[in-house]
Amino acid sequence: MRKTNYFLLFLLLFMAFFQGCEKTDDGTYTAPITLYERIGGTWSITGLNQVDEVAKATNLTPVEMTLSSRFNFRTFKIALNVDSASFQPTTYAVTGTAPELFATSGYWQLDEPYYHADQSTSNILLYSDEARTQLTDKLTVIAIPIAETGSKAALELSLTRYDNGSPFVSYVYKLKRAN
């Protein structure tokens, strides 16, 4: 009985040794999908709300006002351009006759190219120079599109204005892919 157990143990180890030599071919390396692939492209506005952050903090009304039907915001489009080969951000451009709430052209990048591990929101950083040293604004990404059509295809951005470090107004953009 003891010899049989040793033989079975030897046979098991022998098989495990040769099993480890098998190489699994599961295709070539593919880089992970970045948020640039989801956010890059041209977006047109479906809604814009102005949020009074002071009223929100002090429980006063009204807190929100819809601006999308006023001041020609319906013509607002933003192109977040990415290099098609490397999916790295390049330039951005805002078109339309809406009032300028942030610079209409420049360079952009995300603060992180992937979802944040701590589940905090991502930010689109807008720069005036190609070296990305002159930050002009920061757009907070509220919702990232997870589908090409339907309600899950929306991109939501927030632009917050501060006075002495305290937020006083935010603009929440609801966007869809432009045709």
Q: What does the pLDDT look like over 111-160, one tens digit per residue? A: 999 988 898 999 999 999 999 999 999 999 999 887 666 656 789 999 99
Assigned domain for 7 exists = no
Assigned domain for 6 exists = no
* Strand boundaries in 12-143, DSSP class E: 41-52, 64-66, 77-82, 89-95, 105-110, 122-127, 135-143
Confidence of residue 4 (pLDDT cuts 50, 70, 90): confident
Q: What does the pLDDT look like over 18-54, one tens digit per residue? A: 666 566 666 777 777 889 988 999 999 999 999 999 8
Q: How far is CA 130 from CA 78, 108, 112, 140, 147, in A?
A: 18, 9, 18, 21, 31
Assigned domain for 29 exists = no
- Structural domain count of the chain: 1
Give the contacts of 118 (CB within 8 A, at least 6 positions apart). none
Assigned domain for 55 exists = yes
Return the CATH number at 73.
2.40.128
Q: Which domain holds residue 65?
A: 35-177
Q: Are strands 122-127 and 135-143 parallel, antiparallel or unpaired?
A: antiparallel
**Most distant pair of Cα atoms in the chain: their distance:** 91
Q: What's 14's DSSP letter?
A: H
Predicted TM-score (pTM) of this structure: 0.77
Assigned domain for 130 exists = yes
Q: What are phi and psi of 105, to 5 degrees?
A: -155, 160
Q: How many CB atoms lie within 10 A of CB 53?
A: 17
Assigned domain for 62 exists = yes
Assigned domain for 14 exists = no
